[in-house]
Each structure stands twice: as structure tokens, then as C-alpha cells.
Amino acid sequence: MQQLNRRDFLAAGAALGGAALLGGCGSSSSGGSASSAAAKTTPLSKRPDIAKEPGNLSILEWGGYEAGGTKAQTSGLWAGTPYTQEFGKHSLVYTYIVNDDQSLSKAGTSGPFDIMHPCNEMLPSFVSQGLIQPWDTSLLPSFKNLNPFLVEKGQVNGKQYMIPWDWGYASLLYRADKIDPADATGWELAWNPKYKGKISLWNGSGSNMEVAALKLGYHNMDTMSDSQIQAAKNTLIQQKPLNKFYWSSEYEQMQPAFKSGDIWITYAWQDAFVSMGKAGLKVAYLNPSQGKLSWFCGYTLGSQTKNFFHAHKYVESFINHKACVQMTNLFYYGTADKTIKPSEVQDHKLAKQLNIGDPTAIEASDVHLQSWQPQRPKYEVAWQEVLAA
Amino acid sequence: MLTAVTPSAYVVIVLLVPIVLIGLYSFGLITNVVGTHAAFSTSDWSDFLTGAGNPFRGRFFTSMIVTLVVSGAAVLGAYPLAYFLAFVAGRHRYTVLLLILAPFFTSYLLRVIAWQVILNNNGVINSALWQLGLRAHGHAISWLIYSKFSVALVLFYAWVPFVALPIFVVLDNLDRRLLDAAHDLGAGRLSTFLRVTLPMSLPGVAAGFVFVLIPTTGEFIAPLLVGGPSSQLFGNSIQAFFSDTPDWQYGSVLALTLVAVVLVMLALFGRFIGGDLTQPEAEGA
């Protein structure tokens, strides 16, 4: 075999590299313009019939929220079962996210996805980057049952970009039998050196910067100035050695470690409080003096989806009444369904404690709703600097 | 010409083009953020290389130290294994080699997760210590996991069999007559090993060292799963910039730095590898 000489090899490399450069130079704007075009509403009559759609949904999702009936769903969630019964469980492909930063990053680079499940603070970025298009709520029979408070928050410029579904709180979950009650007063519990090696914060940049902001007394946790970001970063660097680890996966890392006693204090959403209590641990969910964090998330429709009607069917299978009731009883998250009766919630005491019947609780005076961060890239880089420090 | 071009073009496409693309990202000539315009910039490069107190530069140097230590330890751990296979296992050596390598045909991720089960506070080791009464129940050796130790241990475990391979190849092809000659000339076993076997096995040792050094420089899975906050490596920063932030430009600076370092290491250690590992050259031959 004749060997390629060095000159030819380098010439081929230069040619291909030049092609990459020319091809890459247009990449920053081409993706945006294509998805902006797709974001314009196409009349229903001009859309292909559902039978003509490919039918394989690609979904960007948090672990645990897979549709009922799929092999991936191991938490016992029923939502999505009507969809998998009608269209088959093998028609769904899930790509996972473990924090809000990944939701935007993967949506833009690993897609295109038909459906994405970000939280509300990411919604403006999803819209501005042309990643999503408005839903046609006339195709969602259960949409009328959704709480108007959350429905409005899922709108941008009057268009329904997000179908709200789940909401809840974030705080510190701790072992009530290991932690001195006098220490459990606020977010500073995670900074208490007495519990060094028994703490685990979430590896989520935006949330940790918010926690640091609240601990420092900044109420503008989502609109911090550069100097405040620097201060929040420094306080997180101070806290870093106290962590056993930063968890990324709730079910694979945080809950097993908490259950086994490896950690006593962890950043958690309220479902972990319920799970660990049911596991027989003496646990408490901190009501910080600075206020808990709150959040809500929902479903967004990919701007380049070829499964417009399938996507609507999928989301309907999650927002119907039975699905919402079952999700609440499983995770003790609130849902956007306003028709859930207190008698349908199994643990009334827990429901009252968490106020899960009232989604406006996420904006109560002692709660901080996680919202869009105009300087989120700076928050993310600051968090990476904490991790590298 | 065509038959020569095709595999070479494959190498160029698979290796060179991604590096060129990362380079373009690192200088801002391509951007991943929709709605922003690409513009040439060296700010991220100067921040990483010269910025005062840059934490990623610090993590880079720490990771290189960890990498060198793990690679050295892997070589030290693999050499006895390779020696056993070449000189002791006899006609069963390939069977034993296969048995040693068999677990490594499974997923790397699963093997790392398995170490969580072994090293956790309630894991196999701590539970055994409690059962044997060597430690009070409930008092775990907490540094076994989520520490630099656990990261180093998992990386050592993951790479020892692969490091043993090139050393075994060299030792297995050693001309045994040279060892006999050394004995005939009065050299003891240790002296024969130090003056004949070891020097002639150095190309295999160098190859094994490079085998573990290069992938370990970019490692991020083991630190992510069994490492603590202070035991993350440079690869974790690169992974995080691409998956958790929109700042691919900075991530590309870090990635390209790693590529450059790996190329330098290849150039440095490649001099020691050279030649055919199955034909170790005798000194003066």
C-alpha cells in the first residue's frame, strides 16, 4: 500500500480544518434563525395528521418523571400511562438532566427534543434562544383544570410556552436525631463546622448561589451584582470543605447516602423529606429564617418537533387529574391541577405542612421563588470556580 | 494513492478536525450560544494562563500530580502481575491473563459504582471491620470514599490490568538465554532482575505508563462518583463547562490545554517506547 507522505497528510488536514472553519463561522446564527422560524405558530390545518408523524418522542427530562409503563420509570409514577398504552412504551427516548444548567445546555446542544421539562427560571432563556414554541392549549383537555396562577407564569409575551406541572420547595433536610435544634435555624446550618463531612449540597450552580445569597442576607438572590456574586462565591468556597460530596443524582447519590447515615444534612426537595421519613429516619425539613427556596417546572414543546400532536397527547397524559393526584401522593410535590381535593391526598398532615394544595405558596412572604437570573452565565462560572478552588 | 488516503483521511477527520473545532471555540471564532456573534478573543486564554489566582490552573497542576502518582503506582502494581504471567504462570499465562481482563469487558461506569458499595460508610469494608470487632459499630472509616484516596484507588484498579499488558508482552518475549547467561556468570536472581530483566522491560514499562497517563489526565467519571469536593480533577472542569454552562469557549481553552499537554507527554515518553515490544533489544546486541 502506497504510504501518504507528510506533505499530503498536512494538506488534507489543512483542507478539512479550513472546511470546519468555514462551516463553523455560520453556526452561531444559523441554529437560531432556523428555530425562530419554527417557533412561528403553524395553523393546525397545515400540520400533518398525527398518523403521519414519526411518533418517536425525544424527551429531555429529570430522572423519576419517565412515563408510567416505560422500563425507565421505577419510582411508581402513573403519569404518562395513557400515552404509553396508546402509542407504546418503546416510542419514548429520554435524555436526562441533573440540574437546571444542564436543561438549557442540553436543550441547545443535544437536541432537537420534542418535549423538554425545564423549571420556570430557565423559561425566558429557552424562548429567547428559539428552543421552544407555544403549545396549542385547545389540544389539552385538562388544561382548563390548571391553576391560573401557574398558567400565567408559564407564559411569555402572552403565549403559553410552558405547561406547568410540578412545584415545590428546596431547603435543607437534616437528621433531627443528629443535629442540635439550636443549630437548625437557617441556611447557615450548611456552614456549621460541627457537621463537617456530614453535609452534601446539590451540584447545581444557580441554586447554590441563591442559598449563599440568602445566607449572606441578599434578598435579590437572582439579580446579584458582580460584587455580590463574588461574595457568594467566596462563602461557598468557605463551605466547600464541610461537604462530604456534592450530589448530582437525588436517587443514585443523595438519598442512599442520607439513608445510610453518610450525610446528615443535605440540600433537598420535599420528596426526599417524605422518602426518608418513610424509611424510618428521624428527619426534619428546615424552615430557614431567611426563607426556603421554591420552584415550579413544566413541559415545553420543542421548536423543531415533528411530533406536534404526539407531544400534546404526552403532556395531556401527565396533566390529567388522575396523574396529578398520584404524583402528589408519590412525591408530595404540588401540581398545577387546581381540582385536587384535600380528601384525595393521602397524608393530610404532610399536605398541610407543605401547603401543597395551594401553588401560590411558592410566592409566600417567607419563600423565595427561583426565578430567571439575568447574570446566570456568571453564576455558573462562579460555581465552577468554587468547584475548582 | 486512494487506498493510502482513506485511512489517513479517517485519522484526520476523527482526530484533527475536532481539535481544530475546539481551537476555534477557544478563540471565540465559533460560538454555541444562539443569538450571539462569534468574535476573535484571547481573553479566556490569558485568563487561564496568566490570570491571578485562576482556580482552574491550580486544578490543572493538582490533577497532573494525581495523574503522575496514579500512573506510577499503576506501573508498580502491574509489574509484579506481568512478571507472574511471564515467568510463573507458564502455559496457563494466557488463560490467567484472560481471567484478569474479563471484568474489564463490563461497563467502566458499573465498575466505579461497584466501588461505592465497597467503600461506603456502610459498605463492605466498614461492615467487615464492624463484624470482626476491629472498629466500633457505626464508626466508619469515612475517608475511604469521597476522598482523594478513593479516586486514586479506583483509577489504580481500573488501569493496572491494562498497564500489565505491554509489560507482559516485553517480558514474555525476553530472550531467556540472556537470563541463563547471567546466572552462568554468577549473577543472583535479584541481580539478574535488576541488571537484565528490568532494563530490557523498560520499553514495556514506558508503554504501560503512557497507557494509564493519557486517559487519566482527562478522567472525570471516577472523581464524579467516588470523589469529594476537593478531589475533582481537571477533566471534571472540562466536562462541567460543556454540560453545565454555556461557556464552551472557556471549556475549549481547558480542553485544548489538555490536548497540548498530552501531546507533549507523548513526545517525551514516546522516545522510550520506540521499536517492537515483542523484540526487546539486548544491551550491546
Residues A93, A225: one domain? no
In the numeric block, which cell numbers belong to residue A385? 470556580
Q: Which helix (H) or strand (E) holds A200?
A: strand A199-200
**Does the pLDDT at position A24 exceed 60?**
no
Asked if the structure places residue A223 within a domain, the reply is yes
Average pLDDT over residues A261-277: 94
Could you tell me which residues come within 8 angstroms of residue A158 by beta carbon, excluding any fewer than 6 positions away?
none
CA B17 to chain centre: 24
Cα gap B189→B167, rounded to integer Å:
19
Cα gap B213→B72, rounded to integer Å:
9
pLDDT in tens, A61-71: 999 999 999 99
pLDDT in tens, A154-190: 999 999 999 999 999 999 999 999 999 999 999 999 9
Question: Under an 8 A CB cutoff, do A261 and B121 touch?
Answer: yes
**Please, is B240 exposed, middle or buried when counting C-beta atoms within 10 Å of its C-beta (0-12, 13-18, 19+)?**
buried
Q: Identify which of A42-51, A203-212, A231-240, B204-213 has the greatest average pLDDT.
A: A231-240
**Does the pLDDT at position A258 exceed 50?**
yes
3-state secondary structure B24-93: HHHCCCCCCCCCCCCCCCCHHHHHHHHCCCCHHHHHHHHHHHHHHHHHHHHHHHHHHHHHHHHHHCHHHH
- Closest alpha carbon within chain A to B120: A262
Chain B nearest-CA distance from A235, in A, is 15
Asked if the structure places residue A275 within a domain, the reply is yes
For residue A283, report the phi and psi dihedrals to the nearest 5 degrees: -125, 160
Which residues 121-180 in chain A show a CB within 8 A of chain B?
128-131
Q: Which residues of A touch B122 (CB under 8 A)?
A: 260-262
Cα gap A19→B104, rounded to integer Å:
39
Asked if the structure places residue A21 within a domain, the reply is no
Residue B114's DSSP bridge partners are none
- Closest alpha carbon within chain B to A239: B229
Residues A174, A142: one domain? no
- Does the pTM surpass 0.90? The reply is no
Residues A181, A285: one domain? yes
Query: What does the pLDDT read at residue B274?
Result: 59
Residues A110, A242: one domain? no
Per the document, the length of chain A is: 389
Chain B nearest-CA distance from A124, in A, is 13
In the numeric block, which cell numbers belong to residue B117? 458499595
Question: Under an 8 A CB cutoff, do A128 and B35 touch?
Answer: yes
Sign of the C-alpha dihedral computed for residues A286, A287, A291 and A294 taken in this order: positive
The CATH code of the domain that includes A259 is 3.40.190.10
Residues A100, A63: one domain? yes
Residues A254, A345: one domain? no
Helix (H, G, I), strand (E, B) or coil at B277: coil
Cα gap A389→A385, rounded to integer Å:
6
Average pLDDT over residues A334-363: 86
pLDDT in tens, B210-258: 889 989 999 999 999 999 998 999 999 999 999 888 889 999 999 999 9
Residue in B4, B9, B34 closest to A130 by CB: B34
Which residues 43-72 in chain B show a CB within 8 A of chain A?
55-56, 58-59
Q: Which residues of B158-194 are buried (b: 16+ CB within 10 A; e: fewer)?
A: bbbbbbbbbbbbbbbbbeeebbeebeeeebeeeebbe
**Does the pLDDT at position B156 exceed 80?**
yes
What residue type is assigned to position A328 of the chain?
A: T
Q: Are B48 and B250 in contact (CB under 8 A)?
A: yes
Mutation test of the interface with chain A: which of B15, B29, B33, B34, choosing the one with the most A Cβ atoms within 10 A?
B34
For residue A68, report the phi and psi dihedrals to the nearest 5 degrees: -60, 140
Chain A nearest-CA distance from B25, in A, is 9
What residue type is assigned to position B49 of the chain?
A: L
DSSP per-residue letters across A86-119: HH-GGGEEEEEESSHHHHHHHHHHT---SEE--B
Number of domains in chain A: 2
Asked if the structure places residue A7 within a domain, the reply is no
What ipTM was assigned to the predicted interfaces of this complex? 0.83
Query: What does the pLDDT read at residue A326?
Result: 96
Which residues 247-266 in chain A show a CB within 8 A of chain B?
248, 257, 260-262
pLDDT band at residue B189 under the 50/70/90 scheme = confident
Cα gap B117→A349, rounded to integer Å:
36
Q: Are B12 and A10 in contact (CB under 8 A)?
A: no
Asked if the structure places residue A43 within a domain, the reply is no
* Higher pLDDT pick, A356 / A127: A127
1.20.1260.10, 3.30.420.40, 3.40.190.10, 1.10.3720.10: which CATH number matches B58-247?
A: 1.10.3720.10
Cα gap A4→B5, rounded to integer Å:
7
Residues A163, A245: one domain? no
Which residues 128-167 in chain B show a CB within 8 A of chain A?
138, 142, 145-146
Residue in A24, A108, A246 closest to B229 by CB: A246
Cα gap B120→A271, rounded to integer Å:
24
Helix (H, G, I), strand (E, B) or coil at B174: coil
What residue type is assigned to position B204 of the chain?
A: G
Residues A105, A148: one domain? yes
**Long-range CB contact pairs, A215-219, < 8 A, 24+:** A215/A186, A215/A187, A215/A188, A215/A190, A215/A191, A215/A290, A217/A290, A219/A368
Greatest CA separation found in chain B?
78
Average pLDDT over residues B15-23: 92
Domain range summary for chain B, segments of one domain joined by +: 58-247
Per the document, the length of chain B is: 285
Residues A57, A81: one domain? yes
Q: State the Cα torsion A30-A36-A37-A38 to the nearest 10°.
A: 110
Beta-carbon contacts below 8 Å between A and B: 148
Residue A239 belongs to domain spanning: 168-294+368-388
- Closest alpha carbon within chain B to A261: B121
Residue in B24, B31, B244 closest to A105 by CB: B244
Residue in B5, B20, B55 closest to A389 by CB: B55
Asked if the structure places residue A38 within a domain, the reply is no
Hey, is the C-beta of A112 within 8 angstroms of any chain B C-beta?
Answer: no
Q: Which residues of A touch B44 (CB under 8 A)?
A: none
Residues A178, A290: one domain? yes
Sign of the C-alpha dihedral computed for residues B15, B17, B20 and B26 taken in this order: negative
Asked if the structure places residue A257 within a domain, the reply is yes
Residues A144, A231: one domain? no
Hey, is the C-beta of B5 within 8 angstroms of any chain A C-beta?
Answer: yes
